[in-house]
Structure 1
Amino acid sequence: MYTSVGSRMFLVLATTLALLAGYATSTAATLPHDPTCGSKSDGPQDNPVASLYGNKSYPWTDNMIKWNCVYNIKDYGGSFESAQKAAMNNGGGVVYYPSGSYSFTSNIMIQSNIVIRGEPTTAAAKKGTEPGPLAPKTIFKCTFGQHIGVFNNDPKGTNFGIVNVEMDGCAVMFWPGLKSSSTNIKTYWYDAEDVIGMGQTKIVVGNKVHDVTYEHPNPEENSGIMWPWSFSTAIACYSDNNTLVANNLISKSTAKLKTTVTLDGDKMTVPYLVDNRYGIDVNQILLGGVAGKYLDKQCPKDWGKMTPSCFPWSFRRGLVIRDNYIYQNGRVGVSWSGMGDGKTVGSGTVVYNNHVEVAAGTTCWSHDGKKKMTGHDTNENRGYDQKGYDNNVTLNTGHINQQKAADSNYMTVDGEGILQQTENGNDALRNMWYKNNLYGGATGHLVFYKLYNVEYNYLIDNTAAANHMIGVVTDSTHNNVKNNVCQGNKPKCTGM
């Protein structure tokens, strides 16, 4: 065990103070009106990130677009395409939707240098471990069950985002560009073999997202079975640099839907689990299919092969996920990867002050709408899932619960609070897990699971659920666990 307690505490405090530097809400100055751009009706001209977190918190957002060039959707007959085209013809800016309800039956295709903005609000998405008062007055309504929403068509697009919109059935899909033979945007990542690009400088801030689902268990089949696709994601944001996903409320669905299916030959009517989906995904899930193929072809077939030099897309910098509330009844609350400077603990992706609520008392009947779940099946039911190096996971909370497996007396497996697991040769290097509290649910381990190298990780003052563990789970081969700090945790660490 690495024992320089003074160095450890200095590092923890310095990093945490850096996180807190812009935490207090601060009103930013509204930029002066630019008479050479925008539309006649105009709209808010401040940088909404600076208005929420203070002028010095994320200075890269100041110049990501022309915040004082505002194109009010009402001046374009409600046409997003027309407003966006006008903005792009003048170097970009804000496409502004005043308060009201707007309906969509297909994807809203956002381009570089454009931010979609609703009626301004700085209300909080979370209040402790409960949903906060955030309730945007601009509402986007999408066709239920189709998993459509705001989508970037340019795989290398940069400088775009969405702010202060209630997304009713609409997803945020800031996806990477992947090399694939598939033309279906919902499934192309299954068979992707390479990454075309991910762009950079993106924001998803102050939105309320709910009722996001794809109502077919497999988009390739479109079988007609009404069953949630397990890879639906409420917010996905992929970036090579500088991304902020902050103060979003992914709320519980209020829909009371049932579906009739035949599972293992038994016809039955069961609840349709709208919230059986991923919450926030930054640079992880959609890269999984690529990594499985790419690493075998391009990298040595050896343990520990997912590295920045071999698979750089999982090791990007400048990624922040903070102050979000995520409700779910299956899958993972927050998934991410990333990297810092490659030498400093906790200098990478910041996952700060989020809360994940994994529902208690629910039943997972099936993954595919055809076969019943059994006691050895997983629906993940996980709070936080990381890849990459140098992660900074600080002051997050979660109530993590598993689901009953169909009509058996067993629960589905998994249900970790915070996890980095063996996959494609993952290592755990220089991660900081600091003052995270996963107490209060039925499960919620904080573990590195069967990884190849676990070195220089700092696990300080974390709390797991009752009778669960904090530390490392190893197997009999390819495990190198050394130079870690694990102190002040409840329960005490194991395996480190």
Structure 2
Amino acid sequence: MRSACLQEARGAFLKRKESHLADRRNRCLLSFSWLLASLWLWPPAAPAAPPTHNPLAHLNLAWTDSVRWANVVDITQAGGADLAARLANAQAALAAKGGGVVYFPPGTYRFSDSILLKDGVVLRGADPAGATRARDEKYDPPAKIEFPRYEPKLEGEGTSVSTAFKGIYLEDPATASNCGIVNLNVNRGHVRFAEGGEHACGQRRIVYGCVFRNAATPEAAVPDRKIGQHPWQRFTNRFGAAIDVKSARDGLVGNNRIPAGGEDNFTMNGYVLRGRNKQPQAVDGVVFDYDNRPGIYVNHFNIGGAGGQGPDGTPQSHPFGFRAGIVIRDNYIYNTGRCAIGFSGDGVICRDNVIRFAPDAWRPTNTGRDVTSGSSTNDNRAVEMRGWRWQVIGNDYEVHRNWAFDRKYRINDGEGLMHEDHANSTVKDSVLSGNRGNTYLSIYKTAGIDGLLVEGNDIRLGDGKQTIASGTAIYVSANRTNDAFACRNVKIVDNTVAGGGILICGRPAGGNVVRGNKAAGAAPLKIQNQADAVVEDNAGFEVDNTPWKSREK
């Protein structure tokens, strides 16, 4: 009995000892693991240092060095009760030091109201990883800014537009300079870098490397109670661009992506429009279409008489329409309607942009108030040029006209690259080079041309559903409908066209050349020479030298 008890006691002792040793081993292993982890994490982890270099240096625009890129405040480290307060404090700190950068590390930043930028301040997101070119569909900057979504209520008074449609603005548009946004992924927001009264305006403004989704704004004229519209009706602002920048001198809108959206679109039934008989009618299926808006406007001014009436703008009559130093490049723009890029200036560079329009959009109204017909226009065009000495180079575009209300006819627009005689200047020392598109180059009745190079473009009129002016892919006319104007020093060389020929028109004329162009396809196309051009070494064309005739009023 005693022996059995001693044996049991000895077994319990050994078991406790083994358990104690196991606990010691576990504690040692835990301590060793902690030591390894400590060594691995030493020194303690800290937020990555924000970038301080000029992200635009590769563009060789010397003026971008005027931004104080090295003076940086991290938004996540700025004090404040909420995000808006932190941004305000960060901007105030930078303004006290002469300007600089508010840095947004990767993450999502939700603002309930519009942002006002101070003079000298740039909002900069973290550099994109992977794709770095906005024309790449995978381009996705990791710093995301979100504004409120519009939640429609299709009854009664509807939802107030003040609840959404926010954007990034300037605190003092008349003076704000060395400011902008870089590498931000913006949802439900737009950019309005405006000017002050009497065209007082700051300079050196930047929108670069950003993405904009659902960037439309509402049309102020809708609802129109005079024609019986419901208070809840809404329509997109025809002139509210996703990016709208005014700059007195030097501006860059580059490497931005405005992709196809639609996730915030909403459809309205029983939408009251003024019919062709001027009587109100209810229409189903009218869409508030966030992609039916201009893409990019830079100094987009009316600088001359409307509708081909003149007088045409000059630096003396419209100095704000001939500002220098503007660059629009490397952007991707998707539209269902309206103008993808519009500008005015002296020496504007618009190059290497990719533009895509939806091919079969139905547009029952282009104003939000009237039904459309085949004679309506929604201003669907790739690029609208105004001013002198512009260079439109290397752009790739596909423009499509919208279906009118009756779904039988397409709306009367659909131009490619267009300098038209509406609120514009004459053409002077300008360049169209290396562009590719599915609808025509239109230098349209400009009331004068002195210096124009049209070289190396590839223009193929696509499915035959686009507007074709006099059956041409390249249309260069100095003459208005009833009056002749000078056409001098125009060179149309080494272009490829399909589906339409080439027209050059204007008198008096001199120094004009049409050479080395190629017509694709089996049937010969036509060169209409109404400007005493030297026409030689073109392939696949017939030449028509019939003089221009005025169309009687």
Normalising by structure 1, we get a TM-score of 0.78
Shift of 1:216: 4.0
Gaps of 5+ in 1: 1-39, 180-193, 340-347
Q: 1:91 to 1:220 in 2, by over 3 A?
A: farther
Aligned to 2:147: 142
**Contact 1:374/1:408 (8 A) holds in 2:** no
Residue in structure 2 matched with residue 10 of structure 1 by the alignment: none
- Equivalences for residues 34-113 of structure 1 within 5 A: 43-50=50-57, 53=58, 57-62=60-65, 64-74=66-76, 75-77=78-80, 78=83, 79-113=86-120
Aligned residues: 411
Distance 2:447 2:149 in 1: 42
Task: Tell me, yes or no, if structure 1 residue 489 matches structure 2 residue 495.
Answer: yes
The residue aligned with 1:163 is 182
User: How has the CA–CA distance of structure 1 residues 413 and 125 changed in structure 2, closer, same or farther, with 3 Å as cutoff?
Assistant: farther
Q: CA–CA distance in 2 between the matches of 1:238 and 1:162?
A: 14
Displacement of 1:435 in angstroms is 0.9
Mapping 1:162-241, distance limit 5 Å: 162-177=181-196, 179=197, 194-195=198-199, 197-216=200-219, 218=221, 223-241=231-249
Structure 1 contact 429–456 (Cα < 8 Å) conserved: yes
1:306: how far off? 0.5
The question of whether the paired residues in 2 share the 8 Å contact of 1:337 and 1:349 is answered with yes
Residue 148 and residue 436 in structure 1: after superposition, are their counterparts in 2 closer, same or farther (change >3 A)? same
- Point out which structure has higher relative CO (alpha carbons under 8 A, 6+ apart): 1
| Secondary structure class of the residue paired with 1:81 | helix
Equivalent pair of 2:119/2:171 in contact (CA under 8 Å): no
Contact 1:375 1:408 (C-alpha < 8 Å) held by counterparts? no
SS in 1 for 2:93: helix
Query: Do the aligned partners of 2:122 and 2:179 also contact (CA within 8 Å) in 1?
Result: yes
Equivalent residue number for residue 407 of structure 1: 406
Provide, for residues 298-349 of structure 1, a one-character-per-residue CA deviation record: whole Å limited to 9, x for no partner: xxx984541011111111111111100000011101111111xxxxxxxx11
1:173-226: CA deviation from partner (whole Å, max 9, x where unpaired): 11122x3xxxxxxxxxxxxxx42x121111111000110122345279695312
Residues in 2 aligned to 1:476 and 1:241: alpha-carbon distance in whole angstroms? 37
Work out the CA distance in 2 between the residues paired with 1:417 and 1:108. 34
Residue identity opposite 1:484 in structure 2: V
Q: Give secondary structure in 2 for the equivalent of 1:80.
A: helix
RMSD, aligned α-carbons: 2.3
Q: Is the 8 A contact 1:387 1:420 kept in 2?
A: yes
Alignment partners' CA distance in 2, 1:428 and 1:405: 32
Structure 1 residue identity aligned to 2:79: Y
Tell me the TM-score normalized by structure 2.
0.70
Letter in 2 for 1:447: S
Whether the 8 Å CA contact 2:183–2:210 is kept in 1: the answer is yes
- What are the within-5 Å matches in structure 2 for residues 352-367 of structure 1? 352-367=351-366
| Identical positions, percent | 27
Give the AA of the match of 1:152: L
1:249 is matched with 257
2:122 is the alignment partner of 1:115: yes
State the match for 2:482 in structure 1. Answer: 476
Q: Structure 2: which 5+ residue stretches go unaligned?
A: 1-46, 151-163, 226-230, 276-280, 462-470, 506-553
Distance 1:329 1:362 in 2: 7
